[in-house]
Structure 1
């Protein structure tokens, strides 16, 4: 019976890995397509990338509402009230918008690498503000990630990749990515606080509340005045149905991906989810380079491996700590 349970658990994990990888790798390709492609016979770019955030919010809100109706069966009572998500949703609206906007100025692989360096500001704040002492291995991980991102940023980007960007500007692009990370940090901390205050809050409740407020904020931002960019984005999609289809598929990939992330966390924990999503980012860079025609130089490939070596080592350290704590609990 135990072996059957073990096999079933492995199959569920494989299902989660396949779901997260396929959803987010496809979404990455679509995100890059929407930000760099020239649509229609007039060869126009879709300049209103913030509209992707609004579309994602709407689709994920509807998706989470359906999931709650189908599976919660009223069990979500006692969860966090809808108004409690207003502050986290502000940063969750601004942060991802900056990340998407960065694609006007830097390539998709550069954006992924910059957003993979989340551990750097966390460790800096921990050491400087809270006086936390880190091990040599943790500093080594940070050095690999910081060095890899810096080397990639300073290396020469191919002219083919630059020609695809709407407004090439590396400092601005990386700056937007790092601001995205800062806002994400506040969002994650606030979500953790909400979950602690309201233990009965489900993943679907969080998804619903965050995307409800995100939709409100993005509608106000994009349609709050007569000449808001939302109207231009809708007009562009009407004139170029191919762009509208790419945006819809982008949003659906995000909603499906969130499903698999919630399933992974609930069954295997956040560390397993971190491992899967980190490896997915590396595969996304490889797929982008091969399919989207963004060739990376040997120095850039070295930077990519440097970053993901640091991230992989960090994950390995966390797995060791987890196994050690489990042994102590069992009294081994």
Structure 2
């Protein structure tokens, strides 16, 4: 009986995590698209300073992680210190800024799809630089993802979607997305290196260190010289409070989403988290298409299915590998 109750609790907790991640990040995606495409106020002005979203997100997540460390963390103080994250903080500042800037040139569904192809640069770097050999199944996953993104990029975008963009320029938009992926790869590798050197580093330590350096770098970038756009962004928010509220809710959604991600990883593992976040990206594209007036053609929907088929197959391969490792541990 106790086992059944425990199992039911785990199922309910998993449903809670899925609902939390989906709600937080789908809402954040809708708000991000609103800020980047909407015309605010009677003067119908766009919010052009999209990099300001990263600074706002850093500040909110920094405050949130500091509060969580004070309330919940029982860290012995032997984890990585905040200054350890300075290099990862640079790439984590530049990468997301490029991803957000891409929304001036391509639609939100296109940005989500391009950023879902993270495995492509990882495999290219592994094969060309480190000589890593990948399995045939892994190449199939990569071909599906690469093919889907390519078809989506080459297919015709509706005039309604193009009219909502600030400066339509698909090649530049996709380039910014792939540069974002490259910087994300360095960020992840550096974080893994830090947690290997300091095993007692908690998720809150990482969140605090990354967002502290992100705040410092973005403050310098946004306010470091007289013509910096941070002043214009604040003035815009003063003149258009609706934009300020959208930005605040965008940041809160990100902070809440990070909490659910950390909870999922700690209770169910990174594979479960990857599955939830991957399906969330697919749902984000559907929601964006339905709510935000970005209609996709049949060819584009086909490319979306190709990409997420490849990602789903990759998750299945990881699950198989995990099952084999668990069986091996039981026999030894």
- The equivalent of 1:253 in structure 2 is 253
Please give the alpha-carbon distance, in whole angstroms, between the structure 2 residues aligned to 1:9 and 1:315.
21
Give CA deviations for 1:75-115 in whole Å, capped at 9, x if unaligned.
24111111111000000000000000000000000000100
Gaps of 5+ in 1: none
State how 1:256-271 maps to structure 2 within 5 Å: 256-271=256-271
In structure 2, the CA distance between the partners of 1:235 and 1:17, relative to structure 1 (3 Å rule), is same
Asked whether the 8 Å contact 1:104–1:166 carries over to 2, the reply is yes
Please give the alpha-carbon distance, in whole angstroms, between the structure 2 residues aligned to 1:126 and 1:217.
29
- The equivalent of 1:29 in structure 2 is 30
Q: Does 1:17 align with 2:18?
A: yes
In structure 2, the CA distance between the partners of 1:35 and 1:76, relative to structure 1 (3 Å rule), is farther
- The equivalent of 1:40 in structure 2 is 41
Give CA deviations for 1:132-170 in whole Å, capped at 9, x if unaligned.
221111111100000000000000000000000000000
- The equivalent of 2:309 in structure 1 is 309
- The equivalent of 2:58 in structure 1 is 57
In structure 2, the CA distance between the partners of 1:76 and 1:234, relative to structure 1 (3 Å rule), is farther
Asked whether the 8 Å contact 1:79–1:199 carries over to 2, the reply is yes
Gaps of 5+ in 2: none
State how 1:84-99 maps to structure 2 within 5 Å: 84-99=84-99
Please give the alpha-carbon distance, in whole angstroms, between the structure 2 residues aligned to 1:132 and 1:226.
48
State how 1:65-80 maps to structure 2 within 5 Å: 65-73=66-74, 75-80=75-80
Please give the alpha-carbon distance, in whole angstroms, between the structure 1 residues aligned to 2:245 and 2:57.
13
Alpha-carbon offset, residue 6 of structure 1: 1.1
Structure 1 moving runs of 4+ over 6 Å: none
Alpha-carbon offset, residue 226 of structure 1: 1.2
Asked whether the 8 Å contact 1:61–1:212 carries over to 2, the reply is yes
- The equivalent of 2:288 in structure 1 is 288
In structure 2, the CA distance between the partners of 1:22 and 1:43, relative to structure 1 (3 Å rule), is same
RMSD after superposition: 0.9
Asked whether the 8 Å contact 1:56–1:251 carries over to 2, the reply is yes
Please give the alpha-carbon distance, in whole angstroms, between the structure 1 residues aligned to 2:270 and 2:290.
30
Asked whether the 8 Å contact 1:271–1:319 carries over to 2, the reply is yes
Query: In structure 2, the residue corresponding to 1:72 is in which secondary structure?
Result: coil
The normalised TM-score by structure 2 is: 0.98
Asked whether the 8 Å contact 1:105–1:169 carries over to 2, the reply is yes
Please give the alpha-carbon distance, in whole angstroms, between the structure 2 residues aligned to 1:187 and 1:46.
28
Please give the alpha-carbon distance, in whole angstroms, between the structure 1 residues aligned to 2:201 and 2:161.
44
Please give the alpha-carbon distance, in whole angstroms, between the structure 2 residues aligned to 1:239 and 1:267.
44
Please give the alpha-carbon distance, in whole angstroms, between the structure 2 residues aligned to 1:91 and 1:130.
21
Q: Does 1:321 align with 2:321?
A: yes
Give CA deviations for 1:270-312 in whole Å, capped at 9, x if unaligned.
1111000000000000000000000000000000000000000
Asked whether the 8 Å contact 1:80–1:201 carries over to 2, the reply is yes
Query: In structure 1, the residue corresponding to 2:134 is in which secondary structure?
Result: coil
Asked whether the 8 Å contact 1:20–1:261 carries over to 2, the reply is yes
- The equivalent of 1:138 in structure 2 is 138
The normalised TM-score by structure 1 is: 0.98
Please give the alpha-carbon distance, in whole angstroms, between the structure 2 residues aligned to 1:76 and 1:40.
51
Asked whether the 8 Å contact 1:141–1:314 carries over to 2, the reply is yes
Asked whether the 8 Å contact 1:76–1:202 carries over to 2, the reply is no
- The equivalent of 2:278 in structure 1 is 278
